[in-house]
Chain A
Amino acid sequence: MNEYIGVAIVIVGLAFDVFGCVGLVRLPDIYTRLQAATKCVTLGTCMILIGIAILTGLNATGVKALVCMAFVLITSPTAAHAIARGAYKFGVKLEEPTVVDRYAETQTDEGRS
């Protein structure tokens, strides 16, 4: 029984990974790409790790998988935040369908290095 649940969770995680990478290829602009890829690939990897923890049971490998999931869950959004800020400061503009940009107001007085 546990085996079927674990395999199902791994399959869902793989599907989310694929969606995230399709988004990385298809979306028009770095910020939207960052959104799609970060969300989907983080959750996909987390679900793969949960599935592996269920498949192996509560031993050294399973617990390590859960700890690794916590690491990914903490580090991945932080890295996305850092890249988004870096890209803005780097000078990548938002693409055509953008409707509002409130962050630009703060950049003028601060000055770019």
Chain B
Amino acid sequence: MRKISMFVVLYVVWCLLVFPYDRTTGQWDTQSLLVGLVAALVVVVLFGNALPDRSCFLLAPRRWFWALVYIPFFAYYCLKANLEVAYLVLHPDMPIRPGIVKVRTSLRTRVAITALANSITLTPGTLTVDADEDGTLYVHWIDVKFAEDDEATREIVSRFEGHLRRIFE
């Protein structure tokens, strides 16, 4: 199951990279398609055991739906983050109060924690510094509002957790 999902993902990535469909003539490039098939097969046979165990979530359509819902939500926070940083950088005094706070997450799988850390890095004023196995994240915050764990968790983590749990767990 794991190898099949990996094969499908690799083949889709190959097709996106090569784009074997000519729009002017409307013909498919069978040569590229076959080479992609062989290449994906070779990679799966050689490196099939190197991936994490739960990569079968890549084939569930429900998760793809929630991922699509997540994109505009994430884009909104990303834009907001950039406008905030632009304000900070162009302000003559640079009103910053940086610090590292500790937050906890209830997500368990490693893929989900990685996605959460990356989302935190791209959203307003926060940057993940380190992550533990048991769901503790150390977050550098450019404008510390709450130094305590619980309040910081509510402010930083909770807006993504529900979405990511639906996507990855």
Seen from chain A, the residues whose Cβ lies within 8 Å of a Cβ on chain B are 16, 19-20, 22-23, 26-29, 31-32, 34-36, 38-40, 42-43, 58-60, 63-64, 66-67, 74, 77-78, 80-81, 84-85, 88, 94-95, 97-104, 106
Whether the Cβ atoms of A101 and B99 lie closer than 8 Å is: yes
Whether the Cβ atoms of B13 and A43 lie closer than 8 Å is: no
Cα distance A27–B78 in the bound complex, in angstroms: 20
Candidates A23, A64, A88, A100; contact of B129 at CB < 8 Å: A88
Whether the Cβ atoms of B16 and A63 lie closer than 8 Å is: yes
Measured between beta carbons, the chain B residues less than 8 angstroms from A88 are 129-130
Candidates B16, B19, B142, B147; contact of A35 at CB < 8 Å: B142
Whether the Cβ atoms of B121 and A102 lie closer than 8 Å is: no
Q: Which residue of A lies closest to B123 (CB)?
A: A39
Candidates A38, A63, A81; contact of B19 at CB < 8 Å: A63
Candidates B17, B89, B101, B126; contact of A67 at CB < 8 Å: B17
Cα distance A23–B138 in the bound complex, in angstroms: 23
Whether the Cβ atoms of B19 and A39 lie closer than 8 Å is: no
Measured between beta carbons, the chain A residues less than 8 angstroms from B18 are 60
B33 within 8 A of A: no
Cα distance A100–B142 in the bound complex, in angstroms: 11
Known: A35-B125, A63-B19, A77-B118. A16 touches B86 (CB 8 A): yes
Least CB distance from B52 to A in Å reads 15
Please, how many residues of chain B have a CB less than 8 angstroms from a CB on the other chain?
A: 40
Whether the Cβ atoms of A19 and B16 lie closer than 8 Å is: no
Candidates A26, A60, A63, A95; contact of B89 at CB < 8 Å: A26
B34 within 8 A of A: no
Cα distance A16–B89 in the bound complex, in angstroms: 11
Cα distance A80–B107 in the bound complex, in angstroms: 22
Given contacts A38-B121, A59-B19, list 11 more A-B pairs with CB under 8 A: A31-B129, A35-B85, A36-B85, A39-B78, A40-B86, A59-B23, A74-B118, A94-B98, A99-B98, A99-B147, A104-B100
Least CB distance from A2 to B in Å reads 16
Cα distance A97–B13 in the bound complex, in angstroms: 46
Measured between beta carbons, the chain B residues less than 8 angstroms from A78 are 114, 118
B90 within 8 A of A: yes
Least CB distance from B130 to A in Å reads 5
Least CB distance from A92 to B in Å reads 12
Q: Which residue of A lies closest to B24 (CB)?
A: A59
B59 within 8 A of A: no
Known: A19-B90, A35-B127, A35-B142. A103 touches B100 (CB 8 A): yes
Whether the Cβ atoms of B85 and A40 lie closer than 8 Å is: yes
